[in-house]
Each structure stands twice: as C-alpha cells, then as structure tokens.
Amino acid sequence: MACGSTFSGTQPLTSCPNCGGLLDCVIPTNGVTRASLSVGASRRLMQSGVWKYRALLPAIPDDAVVTRFEGNTPIYFDDRIADYAGIASFGLKHEGENPTASFKDRGMTVGVSHAVSVGAQIVACASTGNTSASLASYAAAAKLAALVLIPEGKISSGKLSQTIAHGARVVQIEGDFDKALSLLRELTERYPVYLVNSVNPFRLEGQKTTVVEALDQLDWRVPDLIALPGGNLGNTSAFGKALIELTGAGLIDKTPQLVTVQAAGSAPFSAYYESGWEEYEPVHAETIATAIKIGNPASVPRAKRAIEFTSGFVPNVTDEEIMDAKAVIDRVGIGCEPASAATLAGVRKLRQQGMLSADATAIGILTGHVLKDGDATVKYHFEGDGPMANKPVSIPGTLADLERVLSDALHG
C-alpha cells in the first residue's frame, strides 16, 4: 500500500518485502455486476456466505478451499434497538451466528484456503480469543497444524475452550495482545509459519463479504451508516475495501459512512481520528471488552483509508456504555458479546452528540455470540447496579416461596 510494489498472490506474504508496510489484494472488479457476483462459484461453494461472492475474492483453486459454510448471517430489525440509538432504523447483522460464533470465520476461510494453496504446513495467529477459536477450527478442517499465542489470563474461557478443543497448540504469554502479535510476527519473518492475523491481506478479502452480503440482503438499499467495533482494525479495513470496490464497480450509488467504535480504554485510532489524523500514539489497552483490548492496531493505514473514503466516524465509548448497550441487545432476545455492543453504544453516542439526524438508518455488526463471554454477562446482572441488571432471585425451595416470586412477577 505504501510503496506501490506488487507481488504474486501465490506467496505467503503478510508485509511488503520492500518497505515493510501493509499489503492489499488487488481484485479486478471491472465488469462485475450484482448479477455476476457468484460467477465461478460451484454448488459446494454457493453454500458459503463468503464464497458465493466469488467474483470479489482471490482466485484460489476450488480444491484448496476450506469452508465451514460460514456467512449467510441474518439482519435483525427491532424498534427497541433503533429507539435506544435514537435513529429511525438500526439493523443488527449477527456475525456471531457463524460456525465458531464470530465474524472471524469469514476471513479464516479465505486465509486458510490461501495457506493450503501455497502449501503451508503450519498456520498461526496471536489473538484475543475469537481469531484463535476460528483458526483452530479451520486448521483442523484442513488437517494443518495451528499455533496460537494468547495473552495469559486475558481471554474469555469460552474462546479458550474452543481453541483448545479444536486442537491448536496454545501458547500463553506474559503480556498483552500487542506483545503476542509482535512476537509472532518476528517468528513468522524467520520461519515458514503462515500468519493469519488480519495483517494477512487474504483474510480481509473474506471479511469484505460481510458488507457485500448485508447490502445484498437489503436489496442494495444502502443504509446511511455501517457500525462496527474496532480493535486491530482488520474489519474496518476490510469493510472500507469492500465499499471502495463496490463503488468502483458501480454496484452501489451511495457510500454508507463507516462508524468504527473503540472502547475508551483502548482507543488509539479514535484519538488519531479526533486529532484530525495528526497524531497517532499507541496506548496500553484496558477494557472489559477483551476482544478489542488492543493498544497498537496493526491495520491503522488501511483503516484510515476506510474512514476517509466513507467520511466515517471513530467514536469511543466507556465500558459502562458498552455493557448497557449489550444488555439492551441481549434483552430483546438477540444477544452478543461485549465488544459487539460497542456498535450500538457508539451510534447512540454520535446521535446524542448531534452528529447524526433522527431519520438516519444504520446496520450494526454484532461480531460475536452472547455465549462467547458468559462471565461478563453474569457479572453485569449479578453484581452490577446497571439500569438493565436482571438479578436472579434465590429461594429456599418451598412452594410458598415460589408463590411469593410469582405474585411479585404478576404485581410488580
């Protein structure tokens, strides 16, 4: 992206050999129409909500494609969500309904397929939990060895259990995600280990399809906003690239504004945006939303391009705002993990700050399933005094006790 060098897609590169900068896949979109998005997808691949958009993806041979039929996720509309955000309509596209319960599967199918196509023996990532769960699953499907670096004690047990169960070699390191990723990048520069973190341009190609599928589902009626949480900023980068390509190919006539929402304690990209792109400073990350607890995102230049191209916003929200928005999403029966709820909290905040009009329409991306981080949910409801807390009652176990509970429920 920085120096303009080009390389063949048949190499496992995750940074530019000339300048060390980020790499972008170049996908020829000339002549692609809405009707031809699936050209080249076999019946098997049409079952995948990623590979059904074959015309926008790298040309990986069919026999190398490792798919768990990811994608095809629903968009839920609920007036209580739109009311909470303070805008006319707010659809929630639930990427937590992917095979390993997060959006990572969309990128992983392309990343691991590329790894297979270039003959990789071992695939690796650093992770706050979801990438590792997804990689472990796809590597197992592909019969490849997987190596995962995680910050010890800082990922949720749900994500850790998936990663272990699917057979990845899990290495817990002292320190945070940022340290784990920089350590792994050193390793992959020296050894033939295929890196699937979102610095890998092939992974982002799969993640692009979230936006394509959302617009397809909306019959190409483009919303004003697409909101998502921002951590390492791979998804923001991928969404921006999707919108650049869809615009370039003439598939959309309006560009939705991207809203990348960061947690206040892990918000270096938000601060960069607020400085008018003048000052970028990595931070020591803190937040209850462990998925986005990242202080030095790897994809900053790509994500900046995405926000600039879409005239987007990069707000940040407190942990309290995240957990209250999560409680709202959970309470209407949809549910998500904490990081995902930043989308709703961020749009609500922009509206409260007068940055959005009341008739705005939005799609928010729920990046992970409610069961990914049960501990955070239980803590909010058992221990917190948040407005949405739903604390269970405990009773000794007689019918009289239970009748009292019923009477309270009936009479408030």
Q: Judged by CB under 6 A, which stretch of 33-41, 228-236, 250-258, 348-356 contacts ligand F0G?
A: 228-236
**E strands along 182-321, which residues?**
194-195, 225-229, 257-263, 316-317
Inter-axis angle of helices 374-383 and 319-331, nearest 10: 100
DSSP symbols for 391-410: PPP---S-HHHHHHHHHHHH
Amino acid at 399: L
Smallest gap from Cβ 328 to ligand F0G, in A, equals: 17
Q: Strands across the sheet with 122-126, in order?
A: 169-173, 145-151, 122-126, 194-195
- 234 is an interface residue for ligand F0G by CB under 6 A: yes
Q: Should residue 129 be labelled a site residue for ligand F0G when binding is judged by CB under 6 A?
A: yes
Query: Does 102 interact with ligand F0G (rule: CB under 6 A)?
Result: yes
| Residue 14 in contact with ligand F0G, rule: CB under 6 A | no
Helices H, strands E: what count in the chain? 15, 10
The first and second tokens of residue 43, run together, are 């019946």
Binding mask 156-195 for ligand F0G (x = CB under 6 A): ----------------------------------------
End-to-end CA distance of the chain: 60
Interacting span for ligand F0G (CB under 6 A) from 10-18, 83-91, 167-175, 232-240: 232-240
| CB nearer ligand F0G, residue 129 or residue 223 | 129
Nearer to ligand F0G (CB atom), residue 336 or residue 350 = 336
Query: Which residues does 143 contact at the CB level (< 8 Å), separation at least 6?
Result: none
CA distances from 205 to 191, 345, 358 (A): 25, 27, 33
Q: In the sheet that 257-263 helps form, which strands lie side by side, from edge to edge?
A: 75-77, 89-94, 361-366, 225-229, 257-263, 316-317
Q: Is 334 in the site for ligand F0G (CB under 6 A)?
A: no
- The three-state secondary structure class of 148 is strand
Could you give the string, one character per residue 353-392, with x where binding to ligand F0G holds by CB under 6 A and - elsewhere?
--------------xx------------------------
Q: Dmax of the chain from CA atoms?
A: 76
Residue 236 C-beta: closest distance to ligand F0G, Å: 6
Which is closer to ligand F0G, CB of 70 or CB of 337? 337
For the bound state, the minimum distance from the C-beta of residue 207 to ligand F0G, rounded and expressed in Å, comes to 7
* Residue ranges in 41-80 that form contacts with ligand F0G under rule CB under 6 A: none
Least CB distance to ligand F0G at residue 104 (A):
6
* 356 and 366 Cβ atoms separated by less than 8 Å: no
| Min separation Cβ 327 and ligand F0G, Å | 17
At closest approach, how far in Å is the CB of 315 from ligand F0G? 14
* Element spanning 150, H or E: strand 145-151
| Inter-CA distances, 274 with 27, 34, 262, 320, Å | 32, 36, 12, 21
- Helices 300-309 and 234-248: crossing angle, nearest 10°? 40
98 binds ligand F0G (CB under 6 A): no
Sole binder of ligand F0G in the list 176, 213, 224, 337 (CB under 6 A): 337
Number of shown-chain residues binding ligand F0G (CB under 6 A): 23
- Which span sits near ligand F0G by CB under 6 A: 166-174, 223-231, 275-283, 397-405? 223-231
Closest to ligand F0G by CB, 104 or 241 = 104
Are 226 and 362 in contact by the 8 Å Cβ rule? The answer is yes
Least distance to ligand F0G from the beta carbon of 262, Å? 9
Window 130 to 149, contacts with ligand F0G (CB under 6 A): 130-131
Output the 3-class SS for 55-109: HHCCCCCHHHCCCCCCCCCCEEECHHHHHHHCCCEEEEEEHHHCCCCECHHHHHH
Instruction: Output the CA torsion sign for 24, 216, 258, 324.
Output: negative
- Residues 289-308, one symbol each (x = binds ligand F0G by CB under 6 A, - = not), give --xx----------------
Identify which of residues 73 and 117 has a Cβ nearer to ligand F0G in the complex.
Answer: 73
The nearest distance, CB 373 to ligand F0G, in angstroms, is 9
Contact flag: residue 233 with ligand F0G (CB under 6 A): yes
The CB-of-254 to ligand F0G minimum distance in angstroms stands at 24
The number of CA neighbours under 13 Å toward the Cβ of 388 is: 18
Interacting residues with ligand F0G (CB under 6 A): 102, 104, 127-131, 198, 229-236, 291-292, 337, 339-340, 367-368
